[in-house]
């Protein structure tokens, strides 16, 4: 459950928080594309390391490290799978693949820790995405912590009836996971219907064109920020094309 907390907005006062969500998206874009385009181990390490000062500057280091910890568990699985499935590519390859996963996860974490879902929705809308889709994205983010909480309640109820989750052979474990998912899925489907009704009751999707309460405005800091990340992205592309980095 700890992992989810790394993807939920935490109100802090920092310049990264106050930036326009669109400029932060450019930063996210840089991390994602650099990490996917380049696959060497030093590069992935450098990308991860460069997020540390950003996390410190946004005063979210603690939460961000929490994401890192959570991601490492999955990264270990990726490492083992890669090492087993393609041993001819070596351990360094397996390490960089698993590290790539960590970079992707932690860059998203950095973005969501510093951007409110409302701002994100506004940014998406103002970049031309239809309202329904923007809402869909922000709602799914908004319900991540709720889902985590629901899951804990279900697990508690399950264990209270004498069932064990983390014991037995693989089949038994799979069966208990399936049992836990049943109430969760039923309830979340019911909840989504309730949310839909609540939205309609508040005139979502009505005929009138909705007005926007908060205007997005980019300042000089935003422009500088965007330029830096675009510059870095261009650098990556050029160096990659020349075969200088991989």
Binding residues for another protein (CB under 8 A): 150, 153-154, 156-164, 179-180, 182-184, 186-187, 190
Question: Kind and range of the H or E element at 227?
Answer: helix 220-241
Shortest spacing between CB 116 and another protein, in angstroms = 21
Cα maximum dimension of the chain: 63
Question: Residue 143 or residue 187: which is nearer to another protein going by CB?
Answer: 187
Separation of alpha carbons 246 and 239, rounded Å: 8
Contacts of 197 (CB under 8 A, 6+ apart): none
Separation of alpha carbons 9 and 115, rounded Å: 6
Shortest spacing between CB 73 and another protein, in angstroms = 19
Q: What interhelical angle do 131-142 and 117-126 show, nearest 10? A: 160
Question: Residue 185 or residue 227: which is nearer to another protein going by CB?
Answer: 185
Q: Which of 99, 133, 140, 134 is nearest to 8 (CA)?
A: 140
Question: Residue 160 or residue 211: which is nearer to another protein going by CB?
Answer: 160
Question: Residue 21 or residue 66: which is nearer to another protein going by CB?
Answer: 66
């Amino acid at each position: 459950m700890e992992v989810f907390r790394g993807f939920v907005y935490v109100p802090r006062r920092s310049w990264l928080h106050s930036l326009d969500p669109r400029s932060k998206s450019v930063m996210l874009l840089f991390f994602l594309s650099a990490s996917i385009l380049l696959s060497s181990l030093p590069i992935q390490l450098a990308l991860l390391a460069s997020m540390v000062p950003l996390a410190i500057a946004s005063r979210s280091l603690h939460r961000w490290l929490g994401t890192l910890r959570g991601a490492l568990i999955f990264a270990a699985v990726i490492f083992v799978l890669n090492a087993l499935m393609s041993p001819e590519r070596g351990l360094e390859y397996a390490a960089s693949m698993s590290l790539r996963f960590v970079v992707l996860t932690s860059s998203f974490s950095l973005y969501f820790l510093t951007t409110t879902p409302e701002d994100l929705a506004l940014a998406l809308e103002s970049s031309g995405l239809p309202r329904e889709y923007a809402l869909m994205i922000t709602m799914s983010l908004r319900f991540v912590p709720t889902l985590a909480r629901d899951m804990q309640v279900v697990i508690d109820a399950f264990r209270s009836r004498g069932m064990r989750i983390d014991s037995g052979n693989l089949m038994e474990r799979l069966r208990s996971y399936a049992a836990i998912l049943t109430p969760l899925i039923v309830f979340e489907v019911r909840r989504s219907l309730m949310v839909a009704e609540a939205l309609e009751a508040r005139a979502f999707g009505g005929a009138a064109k909705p007005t926007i309460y908060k205007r997005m405005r980019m300042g000089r800091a935003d422009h500088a920020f965007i330029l830096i990340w675009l510059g870095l992205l261009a650098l990556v592309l050029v160096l990659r094309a020349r075969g200088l980095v991989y």
